[in-house]
Structure formats: structure tokens, C-alpha cells
Structure 1
Amino acid sequence: NGVKLRLMSSKLLVEQWKAYGATPTPMSYGEIYGGLQMGLIDAQMNPIFADYSMKFFEVTDYFIKTYAEAYLGIPTVNQVLFDSLPKNAQEKMRQFWSEANLSSAKWIEEKNNSDMEKIKKERPEVEFTTFSDQEIEKMRNIAVPNYSNFSKIGGKDAQLIMDTLIKDVSDAKKALGI
């Protein structure tokens, strides 16, 4: 509650973290280190590899793995354009991005783990915490009622996108057995 949390400038992220009780503070990426150092922000949301490469760990004592967001590229294409492509081209694009995202996710997880070990070695006093299943469920219970804001903020088709994302996550969990 009340944690001044640096986020990207996104109304959706701001509203979501307000629901969690944080004080979202949009700030450019280049201002994070100084913001942490001077106490303008208490925390920030970035993958571990960014925390290591940008040296945020030098001015951060605690890290929490929240599973709040995957840090992957998300391919996008205009639906009209995509639908106009030959079916074999559409399938090749789907297959390529499916494989690319899976291998990227594996690489990012390995990179984050490696950089976390480097941080521990360089600053042994830093504490790492991983949200428990109960803590994740508590966050989920706070998040779900806020979903209605997304369609208000996102405009036309935002609800369709949200529903599709929720279904995709559910399907992925089933496919992965989690």
C-alpha cells in the first residue's frame, strides 16, 4: 500500500497498480536509477536482466518476482492485412511466432536467473522473494474486478482483446499442464 512504483506511461498499468494499492508513478526508463537513488520512487517494474544491465540493483535492496507480466515481444499485425494473406502464409506466421515466443521465454528465464545470481554475488545483502501461489491468487482477486476499466480505457474492441488474452492464457496453462 502506497509504494511509489515506477511504471511505463500506460493508463492501463496505472489503473491496475492503483487497484493493488500502489501509487503508480510513470517515469521514463532513463530516470529510474536516479529516481530510486533520490527516493522519488520506492520501486520499479522491470525484468531482472534490465535490473542488472542498468545497475538498478545498486540502489535496490529487495526484488519480488510477481509473475505480473512476461517480457516477450508481442507480434502484431493489422487484422485486415493478415486476413488478406494466403492461408499458408498466415499459418507460417503463426508457427514462426509461436516457436519464437517459446524459445524467447526460455532464453529470458535463463538470462533472468543468471543475472539474479550475478546480483547476489555483487550485492549479497539484496533479498529476493517470489510470490507464493496464495499471494498470486490474492493479486488475481484484486485484478479481475479492474478488468472492466480496460474496456473503458482501451476503446473499441478492447473487451474482445481482453477476452482473447484471457482465453489464450488459459489455453497456454492447459497446454503446459499448469
Structure 2
Amino acid sequence: MSNLVSRSRRKLVATALATTTALALLSGSAAAAEWKYAIEEALEEVQGVYAQKFKEHVEANSDHTVAIFPFGTLGESADTTELAQMGAIQFVDLSPGFTGSLIPELQVFLLPYVLPEEPDILADFYKTSETINKELAAMYEQQNLHLIDMFPEGEVVMTTKEAVKAPADLDGVKFRVMTTPLLVETYNAFGATATPLPWGEVFGALQLNMIQGQENPMFFVESTKMYEVTDHITFTGHNTFTTAVAANKAFYDGLSEDDKAVVSAAADAAYEHIIEYQKGLQDEALAKIKEAKPSITVTTLTDEERAPFREAAKKVRDKFVEITGDSGKKILEGFEADIEASTKRVKGDG
């Protein structure tokens, strides 16, 4: 029943947005348009900061305007992704944690202990990776989406009701994950009981003890007050949260060359801005959490303590290849080669 309700809601929203667009075109210049852009977070969070910089650049360099729709205004991530595919909105943020069910190869971003932890290497990798910007970009096209950009949002941390120092500490813990198969595999391998849930249900589920843990970047843990319903934060170093920005393919293909150049330049400006913006963001968020809840415990696992999690991650890697076949194996190999190239470039070894 909930899926039927969700589909009906998306159709109603799509119709309303399409009508608004048509009226705007009738009442104003056909050359200028309002581009609708839905994000998975609030305006003051990382995706919102990126989107506002994108909007600023577009509006300063064209006659177009950009309307940003924060999380919840057009539904959950599945809703906004479908609205973008339908062409009801022009731009959308869609993290691989949700779109991995649409494009299985995107789950490469969810593999634990594959992405580098160093921010400078990450920033170079997302910008220069041919695996991302060519191979994976082509897979978006098959879903009626055009990949505009990808960027990191910070190291993922676990927040739980009980302390976590080893996989055994996750035994019996119902751990919320995004609705994609590889995250289920990851937390089951880590010893927990993976529990897929839409984001809107997570706070209440933790409050009612229906689940006992979740993962997200530190800024999001702070802004969404996840620390109020969990007591322990653990840095395991297992992943970085990734976000993609995509456009409806038909919309993008129909843009003039000048407008495509505006979109590309806006994405470049927003990317540079968000990388700079995130410097120190994790520490600032953690300081706010500690001030709001002095009893919170924060643990960074040592290399020795991470070893059993790394060992468990091998099973997840095998599962990824099993799910995605030769295509996924090729993506993973290219992914790791691109990371190595970025590492050499940033460290001056290549």
C-alpha cells in the first residue's frame, strides 16, 4: 500500500510541477526558464551549500533561475529521483546509497575500505576519475539521467546506543542502512542486523529502539540531532559519503551549447566551493555535538581494531562482483586504478 501511495504522490507532484513550468513559459520569455533542483538534505547542509553555489553561478551567467527543493518538500530520495527521470524537475541530488538499486555498479562507492580517507586525494579522484565521469556516467544515461557531478560529503561514522570496538559489539544490533543491497551486505558482514529504512523514519525508529544504530557523515549527525537518540560515535574509517548531481537526460540534451557550458561551469564552481567548505566541518560538528551532549562518547578505532572490519569487508567486495558481474568487476578495477593515480598525483609520486 505504501508503494502505491508513494507512486500516486509522485504523479500528483509531477503534474503540479509540469503545470508550473508550462505557466512560467507562457507568462515569461521562452529563452529564460526556472530550473528545479531537489536535494536530499537541508539548505544549510552540504548538498544545500553546493546547490546554492550552483544556483548563484547559473543566475549570474544566464537568464535562467534555479529553485532549490530541500529534503522532504518533494518526498524522499526515491521520489525526487523518479521526478527527475520523469522530467518534472531538472536537477537532483541522488546518492549511490539509493541509486545503487537502479544502477548496481554505483554500489562501488559503498564498498568499505576502498575510498581513500585523505580529503585531498578524494577531491582529486572525484574530479578526474574516468571511471566516474565516463563509464558510470554512461550508466546514468540508461536511466534517463545525465551525470553532472559527484562529490564527497565527509567520512561516514557509526552512531549507536552501545559502544562499538569490534564486530562482536554489533551482534544483535539492528542497524539502519539506505535501501540498497550492498549496504545490507556490509552491515551484516560487520556483525549487525542490517535494516533498510527511508531517512524520514530513522529518528523515530531510534527513539523507539526499533533500531539501535545508523551511519552518516558527522555534519549530518549533528544537524539532524542523531546524537539525541544514540550515545556513541565511532570512527571506523570504512567509507566516505558520496553524492551525485544529475539532470533529466531529455532536458539536458535539449539545452543549447551555451546553457550546457553554464551548467558545467556552475558545477565546477560549486565543486570547488564545497570541497573548501568542508575543511574543518567534521571537527566543528563534533564540537557542537559534545557541547549539546557532554555524555556522548567518541571513539576512533586503531588500525588493529579496524582489522576485523577490513577482513569482513572482503566478503562485501565478493558480493559486489557477484551482484554486478563482469561490468562491476571492470568498474571496481578502474575505480581502484583511478584512486591510485590520484594518490600519486596529490602526493607527487607520479
**TM-score, L = length of structure 1:** 0.76
Aligned to 2:287: 117
**Residues 162 and 100 (structure 1), Cα distance of their counterparts in 2 relative to 1, 3 Å cut:** farther
Deviation at 1:174, TM superposition (A): 4.3
Name the aligned partner's letter for residue 11 of structure 1: P
Residue 157 in 1 paired to residue 327 in 2? yes
**Structure 1, residues 114-157: CA drift from partner, whole Å, max 9, x if none?**
11100100110001111212223332222124312102212450
Residue 25 in 1 paired to residue 195 in 2? yes
The number of residues matched between the two structures is 165
Match among 308, 311, 314 for residue 144 of structure 1 = 314
Q: Give the 3-state SS of the residue equivalent to 1:163 in structure 2.
A: helix
Name the aligned partner's letter for residue 158 of structure 1: G
Q: Give the 3-state SS of the residue equivalent to 1:9 in structure 2.
A: coil
Q: Is the 8 A contact 2:182 2:316 kept in 1?
A: no
Q: Distance in 2 between matches of 1:127 and 1:105?
A: 28
Name the aligned partner's letter for residue 53 of structure 1: S
Q: Is the 8 A contact 1:72 1:101 kept in 2?
A: no
Residue 68 in 1 paired to residue 238 in 2? yes
Q: Is the 8 A contact 1:73 1:101 kept in 2?
A: no
1:4-19 matches, within 5 Å, as: 4-19=174-189
Q: Give the 3-state SS of the residue equivalent to 2:179 in structure 1.
A: coil
Name the aligned partner's letter for residue 277 of structure 2: W
Deviation at 1:173, TM superposition (A): 4.0
Q: Which runs of 5+ in 1 are unaligned?
A: 79-92
Q: Distance in 1 between matches of 2:312 and 2:179?
A: 21
Q: Which moved more, 1:39-48 or 1:62-71?
A: 62-71
Deviation at 1:42, TM superposition (A): 0.9
**Residues 105 and 41 (structure 1), Cα distance of their counterparts in 2 relative to 1, 3 Å cut:** farther
Q: Give the 3-state SS of the residue equivalent to 1:40 in structure 2.
A: coil
Name the aligned partner's letter for residue 26 of structure 1: P
Deviation at 1:163, TM superposition (A): 1.5
Q: Which moved more, 1:65-74 or 1:34-43?
A: 65-74
Q: Distance in 2 between matches of 1:6 and 1:37?
A: 13
Name the aligned partner's letter for residue 297 of structure 2: E
1:43-122 matches, within 5 Å, as: 43-74=213-244, 104-105=274-275, 107-122=277-292
**Structure 1, residues 2-44: CA drift from partner, whole Å, max 9, x if none?**
2211110110111122111111110111111111111111110
Q: Which runs of 5+ in 2 are unaligned?
A: 1-167, 250-263
Query: What percentage of residue pairs aligned between the two structures are identical?
Result: 30
**Residues 34 and 10 (structure 1), Cα distance of their counterparts in 2 relative to 1, 3 Å cut:** same
User: Which of the pair has more CA radius of gyration?
Assistant: 2
Q: Give the 3-state SS of the residue equivalent to 2:243 in structure 1.
A: coil
Deviation at 1:106, TM superposition (A): 5.2
Please state which structure has a larger fraction of its residues in helix: 1
Deviation at 1:159, TM superposition (A): 0.7
Q: Distance in 1 between matches of 2:271 and 2:304?
A: 28
Please state which structure has a larger fraction of its residues in strand: 2
Q: Give the 3-state SS of the residue equivalent to 1:5 in structure 2.
A: strand
Q: Which moved more, 1:117-126 or 1:141-150?
A: 141-150
Q: Distance in 2 between matches of 1:5 and 1:145?
A: 18
Q: Distance in 2 between matches of 1:156 and 1:57?
A: 41
Match among 207, 228, 236 for residue 37 of structure 1 = 207
Q: Distance in 1 between matches of 2:323 and 2:243?
A: 22
Name the aligned partner's letter for residue 13 of structure 1: L
**TM-score, L = length of structure 2:** 0.41
